[in-house]
Chains A and B, each alone.
Chain A
């Protein structure tokens, strides 16, 4: 398995996807810094300022909202095996398909973790720098900020795993990316507006992520728009558990489903 994981690492680092991933991670972190510098109170609609706990949480939560990006990278990386036809050669070198699929899942989860911590480190540096420039103190203690950022980084790793699993299942690169991006950015948010269905939101990937990262802005905003009370989210550990549960189910399906498929 170690050999297969290192082969996946060669596959990843031999194309430019790692470069674009790195750029996206840096840009995600820097984006949070820019928002902090602009001041959440100056947004339209205005948000609580940076020196309040709520304001700091919103910015950290926005970084979590960008967890879909590494998921898209994971999806693209795996689905490209099918798109470019390398799945045939890969399956010849590792005929027990679950082995290379598992190696991919592990390698890309590692890559997602690196992505998450890179984005979180840049965001942390940018947040503290922006607060210093504005002459304010962040509304949350340093320990809490770092803990929330670590949760965001872990969320990104889990999302990458989800993305890889969906890429392995759907195989069509464009369709897989459309499904992942479309669901995480559009469908799930839309679900929060439907009475009845929105009660499920805390159990959906986005809701679980919001619970883990403490980011309730979207749910609150929707509640404000619809005039209905926001659905209470799960606790952070429960949200994390739900997210990991999704990842494990996706992994199980991704590993088991292709075993009987013909590679033609």
Chain B
């Protein structure tokens, strides 16, 4: 009888860290052929339109960056939290908290100097997301409540808070739809390239990526967060205040997700609506995993996902494959990446008995 066993292997060389995500992406694209073919799409045409739709023209290429911005921020949010083993599944709710705060500030700040409006909105959105994330962090550290479940449930609490406000105090006067008034002009992100939607938030997300990289790599806090994530007991006995590390991690993680909400509001929608996020918070989990929780990895995986999401629109229009193919590919990518990551540490051994 032949038996398969999974056993530990020697650590792979450094280049594997780059080769493996690329191999995972290729494997995902090959697997994606199954649903495309099932949908009756012509395979090569479908892939052509997928990439042409995302990268083929100047406008589409810039649109891919527009889409990548919230994904990069939620991906960083999740990666930063997971690195310290704070299981933040709540980036979606934190994103909404950020958008909500930015709405309240952005609608009501006509009276202060215009130069100050945008900084206040951005900082407000960051802290709203961060504070919302600090609730499950407090529950985890003080009351031992499982963070996976609490962050998940808080997403729904935030959706309903937003719903209650959009049908109540925040509703645009005279409107019967759940939507807020428009934010003042000074609260809108400037568009940086003519004839496109390439906005300030994209720069903010790239800067955030550099800052997270710096925190992880060069600061004591980054080291401590890593230690807490590797072995919280050892970190505790080593003299690290683990509670404070987890709280700060949550604040920064939630803040990043909050910034994604600010960007969607201030650069694209200009008013709060119920479906301001098509699940960016959940995509952030996949992106963080695919990027191996490393900021640069998260950058590339968020770009890959925005190519898929933007390209799927064109592909759907040209070949009739439903746009939900983008979600299917995201789910596949996560599982393929998990399996590939496994084989960086383990290998399958075939035994004959």
Q: Do A and B actually bind? A: no
Q: Which residues of B contact A (CB under 8 A)?
A: none
Q: Which residues of A contact B (CB under 8 A)?
A: none
